[in-house]
Structure formats: C-alpha cells, structure tokens
C-alpha cells in the first residue's frame, strides 16, 4: 500500500514539474511552489529527491551548463524529512529539507558534501584516491572478464590513496566496485 501511495505521489509530482525558469506554465498558487536552484552545474550532473526511507522520488540529469532552476509543488508529499542530492563530477552535495503543514524548509546549515573516489589509469597502473571526511574506509573489488581479481580495503585519515599494478598481459575491460559508508561507486575502464 505504501508503494502504491508513493507511486501516486511521484506521479502527481511529475505532472506538475516544470522545466527551467523561462518555462513558467504553472496553475498552482505561487505559495505552493518551491524552486530548486543549483549554481555552477554541468551537463550530465544529476539531482535526486529522496524520502527519509531512501526511496527515490524524482531524479533528473541536467542538460546544460550554468545555473539550473526547477520548480516543484511538494505539497502532495507527506509531512516528513527528505533530501536533495546533487551529484557532480567528484562530489555529492546533500541538502536535507522537511515538509510540515505544506511548508517546505531547507536545512542548509545541515548540508554536507560526500566526495566520490577518483579513479585513473596510467599504463598498467590503477590509481584510486578518496577525500574522506566522514568515513575512514573504502572497500574495493576489481573485476576482469566478469571475475573478481582483487579485493582490498583502504583505511586512513582524510585522504585514502592506493596504486595497483595490473598485469600487462590482461588487456581489456575492467569493472571497479567501491563502497564507502553507505555509498556505492562503480567505474569501468579499459586497458589497451
């Protein structure tokens, strides 16, 4: 029943979503409209609205560089806690907000940033680094041709770094699965 209720709320929310600021066709009173604004975004960045149970209510990939505006009517959502996550190249900016009696309050003082692992290859070397403010570990599993060939856990203070030497004979596609805290990061790369 809760799933159906969530789907109905998401469907309703999607019907009233409008595009960028220059597209202002809205039949909802302006008091009920909340504008999300992200500065310095690039095409391909993504934002997601998540409820307090981790259910993704809405997600969209940004289609152009610059400042991004999106209008929502959150009054269809139940009172409670939610988050907006902006996933950029090397970081995820998490902003919590609450809805109470049809009022939306963004808790910008509780905004936090989670950094993504940076993965690079050079010749037959795999370089992994992570700026880790909260969690102190990064679990790594590397796959080649669908088979797990490496498992490791990086630990340390604020910067986790490791260089792995890969076999010169094993050219082709690799898949990297990384976990830090409750976040999962996946990356594919090819050695030529």
Considering the domain architecture, whether residues 105 and 124 belong to the same structural domain is answered as no
Q: Count Cα neighbours of 19 within 13 Å in the Cβ-side half-sphere.
A: 5
Share of the chain above pLDDT 70, in %: 82
CA distance 98 to 12: 19
Out of 90, 114, 138, a domain closes at 114
Domain count, the chain: 2
Considering the domain architecture, whether residues 18 and 104 belong to the same structural domain is answered as yes
Considering the domain architecture, whether residues 90 and 122 belong to the same structural domain is answered as no
pLDDT in tens, 38-52: 889 999 999 999 999
Q: What is the CATH number of the domain that holds 139?
A: 2.60.40.3080
Q: Are 187 and 142 in contact (CB under 8 A)?
A: no
Q: What is the CATH number of the domain that holds 34?
A: 2.60.40
Share of the chain above pLDDT 90, in %: 46
Considering the domain architecture, whether residues 151 and 102 belong to the same structural domain is answered as no
Considering the domain architecture, whether residues 181 and 134 belong to the same structural domain is answered as yes
Considering the domain architecture, whether residues 89 and 143 belong to the same structural domain is answered as no
Tell whether the torsion through CA atoms of 113, 63, 24 and 51 is positive or negative.
negative
For residue 107, give both structure tokens.
Answer: 């808790």
Indicate whether this model's pTM tops 0.75. Answer: no
pLDDT of residue 93: 93
Q: Are 133 and 115 in contact (CB under 8 A)?
A: yes
Span 61-78, average pLDDT = 89
Considering the domain architecture, whether residues 23 and 86 belong to the same structural domain is answered as yes
Out of 85, 114, 143, a domain closes at 114
Span 69-84, average pLDDT = 89
Considering the domain architecture, whether residues 101 and 125 belong to the same structural domain is answered as no
pLDDT in tens, 93-146: 999 999 988 888 889 899 999 899 999 998 889 999 988 777 678 899 999 988
Considering the domain architecture, whether residues 23 and 102 belong to the same structural domain is answered as yes
Residue 160 belongs to what domain range?
A: 116-191
Q: Are 68 and 41 in contact (CB under 8 A)?
A: yes
Considering the domain architecture, whether residues 125 and 99 belong to the same structural domain is answered as no
What is the band of 6 on the pLDDT scale with cuts at 50, 70, 90?
A: very low
Least trusted range by pLDDT, from 45-49, 71-75, 132-136, 170-174: 132-136
Out of 81, 114, 147, a domain closes at 114
Considering the domain architecture, whether residues 48 and 106 belong to the same structural domain is answered as yes
């Amino acid at each position: 029943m809760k799933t159906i209720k969530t789907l109905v709320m998401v469907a309703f929310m999607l019907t009233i979503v409008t595009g960028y600021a220059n597209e202002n066709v809205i039949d909802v009173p302006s008091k009920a409209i909340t504008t999300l604004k992200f500065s310095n975004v690039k095409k391909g960045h993504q934002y997601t609205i998540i409820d307090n149970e981790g259910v993704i209510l809405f997600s969209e990939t940004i289609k152009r560089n610059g400042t991004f505006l999106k209008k929502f009517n959150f009054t269809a959502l139940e009172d409670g806690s939610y988050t907006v996550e902006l996933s950029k190249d090397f970081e995820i900016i998490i902003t919590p907000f609450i809805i109470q009696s049809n009022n939306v309050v963004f808790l910008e003082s509780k905004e936090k940033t989670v950094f993504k692992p940076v993965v690079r290859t050079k010749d037959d070397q795999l370089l992994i680094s992570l700026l880790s403010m909260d969690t102190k570990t990064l679990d790594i599993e590397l796959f080649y041709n669908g088979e797990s060939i490496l498992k490791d856990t990086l630990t340390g203070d604020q910067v986790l770094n490791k260089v792995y030497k890969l076999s010169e004979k094993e050219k082709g596609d690799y898949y990297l699965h990384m976990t830090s805290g409750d976040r999962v990061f996946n990356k594919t790369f090819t050695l030529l």
